[in-house]
Amino acid sequence: MPEPVPRVSVLTTTYNGAAFIRQSIDSVLGQSFRDFELIVVDDGSTDATANIVANYDDPRIHVIRNSRNLGIVAARNLGFAAVRAGYVAALDHDDVSRPTRLAAQVAYLDRNERVVLVGSAITTDDNGKLCRTENSGGSTPGMMRWMLHAGNPLTYSSVMFRTAAVRQLGCFMREEFELADDFDLYHRLLAIGDIARLDEALTIYRVHSTNASLSARAKLFQSAVKILAGVYRDWLGAEAETAAALVVRHFSERTPARDAATLTRLGEYLEGLLGCFLATYPETAANQSLIRQQASSAWWGAVRAAVRSGHPWLAPRFLARRALSRHYQPSLLDWAGSLAIGIMRTARRSG
């Protein structure tokens, strides 16, 4: 008898993940939703990863072991080629799924045929310290489409997507966008359907020194800029790459701007992108209002970071861009606290 086809394929890739892989696998086996297979691609690990995975005696676990390390994109593509289910849940070897994750995401995709991928809010685990990430602006498909134009609001280990939608693209992950390959996937999927995010934190994302996104920051930055520059080109022409670099650096990476010229240009690009987006993707009046508020909140976040990094004289730049600032009003406490921190850091440098 052929093995029954599961409803969900959980796809995990690992390389020297002995410190984390057991908790990751246990979080899948502990799901309240039971109709799944777990595909583990061991990308040529040289530590105890293979032995740890081999010790599991569960027919739902399928292991692909590469004889040498091929890299994360090739490993993900090998895993995707082996999936059998209609839905695929991604989970990196160092992250953990909450027990209700699969049930919640399957139910959402079953109810929303236009949605091709759904993520979730996350909790970060930084050396045992758990922190729920903020999700400003809501997580509707219209909002998520905008937020994907101004950064990356999704954590790969939180997403579940339709297998058929990805196969329609012709390929899963693309080598030329390695480390931002998931971000590239989201943008290609936007051409097919909607992307959404559940507000419940269904994934724990572990922060540690061997995170690929931390250890190869420059490569991640270049790949993300390349993706957004392609998205912006029809709107901004020759300025697309410059705008993309500023958006990635100051909105995605949250690096504070250090001078008025940089902050001013960032605001100009954000305002222009918002106008182009709303003209290209007409939304309901309610969604437009929420999207404008999110853009304004992001603008305040950039100004706030600059001020708090020791540049308090940049605070008026927030109000200077009225098309953005009028949709979000920081609290007086936030204003005062940011100025105080900025002044203190300026004094420390000069002292």
The residue among 332, 341, 274 whose CA lies nearest residue 305 is 341
pLDDT at 172 over 90: yes
Structure confidence at residue 215 as a pLDDT band (50, 70, 90):
low
pLDDT of residue 82: 97
Tokens representing 285 are 């009046």
CB atoms closer than 10 angstroms to residue 1:
3
**DSSP per-residue string spanning 200-265:** EEEEEEEE-TT-HHHHTHHHHHHHHHHHHHHHHHHHHGGGHHHHHHHHIIIIIS-PPP-SHHHHHH
Q: Are residues 321 and 206 in the same domain?
A: no
Q: Are residues 87 and 175 in the same domain?
A: yes
Q: Are residues 137 and 16 in the same domain?
A: yes
pLDDT at 135 over 90: no
Q: Show Cβ contacts of residue 72 under 8 Å, excluding neighbours closer than 6 positions.
A: 13, 15, 43, 178, 179, 181, 212
Residue 227 placed within a domain: no
Nearest 5°: the CA angle 8, 134, 322 is 125
Bigger pLDDT: 244 vs 351:
244
pLDDT of residue 1: 64
**16 residue type, one letter:** N
pLDDT digit string, tens, across residues 46-73: 999 999 999 999 999 999 999 999 999 9
Structure confidence at residue 213 as a pLDDT band (50, 70, 90):
low
Stretch among 4-18, 52-66, 126-140, 294-308 having the lowest mean pLDDT: 126-140
Bigger pLDDT: 126 vs 7:
7
**Last-in-domain residue among 190, 214, 238:** 214
Q: Are residues 209 and 270 in the same domain?
A: no
Q: Are residues 290 and 210 in the same domain?
A: no
CATH number, domain of 102, equals 3.90.550.10
pLDDT digit string, tens, across residues 270-300: 999 999 999 999 877 778 999 999 999 999 9
Whole domain around residue 317: which residue ranges?
Answer: 256-350
Radius of gyration of the chain (CA): 21
Structural domain count of the chain: 2
Structure confidence at residue 178 as a pLDDT band (50, 70, 90):
very high
pLDDT at 211 over 90: no
Mean pLDDT, the chain, whole residue set: 93
Dmax (CA) of the chain: 77
pLDDT of residue 2: 72
Tokens representing 59 are 């027919």
Residue 190 placed within a domain: yes
Q: Are residues 166 and 274 in the same domain?
A: no
Residue 46 placed within a domain: yes
Contact 225, 255 (CB under 8 A): no
Tokens representing 38 are 């777990």
The DSSP call for residue 2 is: P
pLDDT of residue 333: 97
pLDDT at 206 over 80: yes
Structure confidence at residue 3 as a pLDDT band (50, 70, 90):
confident
pLDDT of residue 291: 93
Q: Are residues 33 and 135 in the same domain?
A: yes
Residue 51 placed within a domain: yes
pLDDT of residue 125: 83
**Last-in-domain residue among 162, 184, 214:** 214
Q: Are residues 12 and 115 in the same domain?
A: yes
Predicted TM-score (pTM) of the model is 0.92
Q: Show Cβ contacts of residue 285 under 8 Å, excluding neighbours closer than 6 positions.
A: none
Q: Are residues 125 and 198 in the same domain?
A: yes
pLDDT of residue 282: 83
pLDDT digit string, tens, across residues 78-105: 999 999 999 999 999 999 999 999 999 9
